[in-house]
Structure 1
Amino acid sequence: MALRDRVKKLKLLIMDIDGVLTDGKLYYTEHGETIKVFNVLDGIGIKLLQKMGITLAVISGRDSAPLITRLKELGVEEIYTGSYKKLEIYEKIKEKYSLKDEEIGFIGDDVVDIEVMKKVGFPVAVRNAVEEVRKVAVYITQRNGGEGALREVAELIHFLKND
């Protein structure tokens, strides 16, 4: 199926966090607190997708208060953190919104994302994703995770949906 056809069906976009919305690095303070860095470009990308009527969700194995705060600031509708059972969560979200696999996209970077990426209609890998993830993707971003990759995907979706 052509990329344009996949994108035109898109109603929900799910993202991993570490390595997709962040650079995948973990920064620790001297007190042992984790710091995550988010790119403003990705925040604008989220707003663009929401304006197009695309529901957004995140599924992340890691759980962190700053992460949840940032996602809530951006109005992300579905936030699932602290679980590596991504396929199980994916099925729950799909059922909640009564969607078909081909109406859902997923942006990932590591092997824990592959199960879900194989199910969705629009699997995306960030440029610095591991090779196994890149092989499953129908689109690989020009930007690395945490460096505006989501914004790039949002602009692609906007362009193809309005073409």
Structure 2
Amino acid sequence: MQDLIQAAANIKLLVLDVDGILSNGHIIYDAQGTELKCFNVKDGMGIKSLKFVGVKTAIITGRSSEMVNIRAHEMGVDYVIQGRDDKLTALNQLLLDLPYELSQCAYMGDDLPDLKALQSVGLSATVPNAHQEVLNRVMMVTTKAGGEGAVREVCDLILKGHGKYDEYISQYVLD
């Protein structure tokens, strides 16, 4: 765990996949063909907490969905890139406009299109039900599944890495 906290200390940008990470990976269509996804409020709170330490957030997803734009806006996600299966290329293009290196990025993904990005960043994480090849190649596997608070675990780790977890939590408790 100490190695993960040390890796988290350098993180300036958290990059997230959507299906299987921010959502449970299920895609539901209503009778009109509208796509529906479920998101977890704990993940949203975690993403918002990163503002406390100045960590930026991004979504890079292979699918395109207006509901991702809506949820990203609600959570205060800084950058949203949709319709990109080439996740590492998309991340590198994003970094062209930012003062960060890949080593200062954390990435959460759960399937094969995420692998190159996961292998290139300073902190890589996935969920317990990720593809086996992803599980074999990441630094951290969360205890929670995608869409059930997994992102929050990584956000809390980043706060701890920056030495600000207790200070952040103190806003919400009486002592």
Q: What TM bracket, shorter-length normalisation?
A: over 0.9
- Superposed CA deviations along residues 77-102 of structure 1, whole A, max 9, x for unmatched, are 11000121211111012221121221
Alignment of 1:1-163 (within 5 A): 2-162=3-163
Report which of the two structures shows the higher radius of gyration computed on alpha carbons.
2
Q: How many pairs align?
A: 163
Gaps of 5+ in 2: 165-175
CA RMSD of aligned residues (A): 1.4
TM-score under structure 2 length normalisation: 0.89
CA–CA distance in structure 1, aligned partners of residues 4 and 75 of structure 2: 27
Are the counterparts in 2 of residues 28 and 34 from structure 1 also a CA contact under 8 Å?
Answer: yes
Same amino acid, percent of matched pairs: 34
State the secondary structure of the residue aligned to 1:14: strand
Q: 1:124 Cα deviation (Å)?
A: 0.6
**Hey, which bits of structure 1, 4+ residues long, moved more than 4 A?**
none
CA–CA distance in structure 2, aligned partners of residues 2 and 140 of structure 1: 14
TM-score under structure 1 length normalisation: 0.95
Q: 1:41 Cα deviation (Å)?
A: 0.5
Are the counterparts in 2 of residues 123 and 137 from structure 1 also a CA contact under 8 Å?
Answer: yes
Q: 1:120 Cα deviation (Å)?
A: 0.3
Q: 1:156 Cα deviation (Å)?
A: 1.6
Are the counterparts in 1 of residues 64 and 82 from structure 2 also a CA contact under 8 Å?
Answer: yes
